[in-house]
Amino acid sequence: MKTLVLKCPHTPIAASIAIPGSKSYTNRALVMAALATRKSTLTSCSPSRDCEALIAALRLLGATIETPDTATIIIEGTGGHFVPYRGTIDVGPAGTTMRFLTALCAGIPGADIILRGSERMHERPIGALVDTLRASGARIEYLGREGCPPLRITSTAPLRGSGLQIDGTTSSQFLSAILLASPLFEGGLNLSVVGKQVSTSYVDMTLQGMHEFGISPECIDYASIRVSMGQKYSSRAYRVEGDASGASYLWAVAAVSGGRVTVENINPRSAQGDIEFPQLLERMGCAVTHTHDSITLSGPQSLTAIEVDMELMPDTAQTLAVVAAFAHGDTVIRGLQTLRGKETDRIDAVHRELLKIGITSTPGPDYLVVHGGSPHGGQIATYEDHRMAMSFAVCAAAIDDMIIEEPHVVEKSFPNFWNVMTQLGCLCVEQR
């Protein structure tokens, strides 16, 4: 097993870091550009493994994709006429890629595709999306556990888009997958959401992207969504926003160390829910300033516990839990119902790893209470979850002897993360 030993700088941290492009926006843009006619150029893209997995799959489906550098992707769109691929597509641990491809592949008449992924992927739910696609005419078969990948998709006719329903209580990715694939639905798309739609900020990102690529969806309270017949994506030059989820770790470093970190290439007015993370740290005692394309956070001498609902920013819940370990009092984090179905059960995983650094917490079905104190170093298991590695790495800005197991997991979303931590003064030494 590989580990990474992190060294606390023991000096005030003051740095400016340009954050890579958003994985979420990059994956959405990849789908829309592949469905468009003619050529699109995407810049400032995420270099993550998840995006690489989607690029590889889209190439199998007939899209011509060039990557002249790690931040630029040039796509010759298919106009929605994908190759009827017959074979297996393995997405590894890429959840967004699995969900988006399920909807795309269901709309390819004549294809015979097996979608599979990592062991954990075959435990993650996809039933609500499959149910909706089956109701639209898709032929999808479970090859393992009911309601989870792997899937076999053998659709033979165009999808029907009228009178559809989708369960919104498990994941926003199901609704986003249907929306992104809407040009493949015959007669347009008329969709009702059953139950309260979770993580609506990610739906907002999808709707924004669709507008920017030339489609105008109508969304009423995340309960009724319509895409009128005949709308198609248009090719375009598209610059991907900086990744607010990845930026959260850098702001957290400033918070726990009492230092100052400026994150550049970030849009303070972004539709990304995680853009609100600095405001949570501000409530804990930090100071926040911003320009049109940067946000600076300065940490206080001491942090104060807060109570917060993070339903709209679930990907930064682990980051906040680690910051809360250094705060005075009990931080109550609610709205975490989607975290138990992620790369790992993130509520239980955070609870277990906090104990290793001397911090107790109280987990619940959809919440976590972190009892702040004085953390010490420890060896952290990452559960094949990139966000476990990056969130606990934040501790190294303030304490010694932090060891991260299987550090390569960060490649899923932030391949350059350990280099960035070294720039912040937390020297990273790999061991076997």
User: Which residues are catalytic, by number?
Assistant: 315
What's the rounded Cα separation, in Å, for the pair 225 and 243?
27
As given in the structure block, the two tokens for residue 32 are 């829309």
Q: Are strands 64-69 and 72-76 parallel, antiparallel or unpaired?
A: antiparallel
Sheet holding 151-153, edge to edge: 86-90, 112-116, 151-153, 140-142
What's the rounded Cα separation, in Å, for the pair 415 and 421?
12
243: region left, alpha or beta (phi > 0 left; psi from -120 to 50 alpha): beta
Q: Whose CA is closest to 130, among 164, 157, 163?
A: 164
Q: Whose CA is closest to 361, among 335, 324, 388?
A: 324
As given in the structure block, the two tokens for residue 378 are 């420890």
Q: Are 334 and 314 in contact (CB under 8 A)?
A: no
Q: How far is CA 391 from CA 12, 46, 127, 190, 411, in A?
A: 20, 19, 30, 40, 14
What's the rounded Cα separation, in Å, for the pair 427 and 421?
7
Q: Are 288 and 299 in contact (CB under 8 A)?
A: no
Sheet holding 428-431, edge to edge: 378-380, 402-405, 3-6, 428-431
Q: How far is CA 65 from CA 41, 56, 62, 76, 111, in A?
A: 10, 9, 9, 6, 20
Could you please report the per-residue DSSP string of 387-431? HHHHHHHGGGGT-S-EEEESGGGGGGT-TTHHHHHHHTT--EEEE
Q: Are strands 368-371 and 360-363 parallel, antiparallel or unpaired?
A: antiparallel
What's the rounded Cα separation, in Å, for the pair 215 and 180?
10
